[in-house]
Amino acid sequence: MPDVEGLDDQEIVARIPSASVAQVQVLCDQVLARGIGDDAVPALEALWKRFFGFGISGPLREQRCALNTLAKVGTQSSRQALARIIDSPDLIDVLLPLALECATEANLALSGQRVTCWLEDSRSAVRACAFVLARNCTPAVPKYELEKGLHDPEGSVRRACLTTMGLFGHEGAKPGLLAELEKGPTSEIVTALAGMVDDDIITRLGRCAMKHARLREQIVEELVCSGEPRAHKVVERLKGLK
């Protein structure tokens, strides 16, 4: 492992574009640990470009580090750099799953037309990411395109589809979201159901909160924000729980 403790931020950044496979992870970790942020973006983009045309059998470590770090930096500049990489017509198809995974982490807003194309990709990882990315698209992905994911053979894709449709308030997602709430409740499922709240959903969220203490605080907040009279009654009962 290379010794980087004695390097200042500028030296860390300067080494990234030409980093060896043994150095690259440590240098990128330092970018995040030190909060170097935007100053590292050109170097990370240069690292990616250095391996243009490589990775035909799968992402190289340097490519993974460049994309993952850009996603985690989380600034407007880093998101723009990540979007440029994804929008490039020269992006090798085998690198697309990694690129879209990083795009979801960075909460990118990509073209609705491009995201729609990925909804029916042969790879489930790409489809799942596409349904997540559909939440921020301009123009928006049409409802009938989103509905295709309701019957996807992969559970991860169906959950991503259901959550996105719920956030948009599409009623067709309600049965599936309630089934997921019963089977394996998550924070995302709760948020999606709260976006289409009715008396039935309020009751089911209340039951979930009673069973799952880890989600109780979030459910109470969502019910309070709904402003529904029935939600107020459920919240009062939940506040009495330890």
Q: What digits encode the pLDDT tens for the residues 117-155?
A: 999 999 999 999 999 999 999 889 999 999 999 999 999
In a domain, 191, yes or no: no
Q: Domain limits at 207?
A: 197-242
What is the distance between the alpha carbons of residues 76 and 87, in angstroms, rounded to a whole number? 16
In a domain, 192, yes or no: no
Do residues 130 and 208 share a domain? no
pLDDT tens track for 163-203: 999 999 999 999 999 999 999 999 999 999 998 999 999 99
How many domains does the chain fold into?
A: 3
In a domain, 67, yes or no: yes
Answer yes or no: is pLDDT of 242 > 70. Answer: no
Taking alpha carbons only, the member of 201, 147, 148, 149 closest to residue 174 is 201
What is the distance between the alpha carbons of residues 79 and 106, in angstroms, rounded to a whole number? 7
pTM: 0.91
Phi, psi of 131 (to 5 degrees): -65, -35
Confidence (pLDDT) at 180: 96
